[in-house]
Amino acid sequence: MTAATFIKDEAEFDALLSSETLFVVDCTATWCGPCKVISPFIDQLAEAYSDRAKVFKLDLDSNKPVAKRFGLRSIPAVMFFKQSELVETMVGVKTYEEYSNTLTRHLEETKA
């Protein structure tokens, strides 16, 4: 199973912004209970969409500048980026289907 890869730092995050057409970032923390609930969904998303989009995780405890930059006030927060722009943020626990449907919609918009 392909699990979502952790982004190490802000420099790696910025490199992804400039190189990836469409990617997803699950903003998480080790102490966050709801984050643990959605973690398997994010890994499932990484596997299901591995040929069409990249899916990552970002530990906000070690990447506070990223949280500040995007105004994240609560987690879990799953951010969708398209052509270097933040196009959507889903905050709180959602179902796998909600994440999957959102990613599918952004993939379809990218093709259009």
Catalytic residues: 32, 35
Q: Which helix (H) or strand (E) holds 42?
A: helix 33-48
Q: At 107, list the tokens.
A: 């993939």
Question: CA of 110: how far to CAs of 40, 44, 79, 83, 100, in Å?
Answer: 26, 22, 16, 9, 15
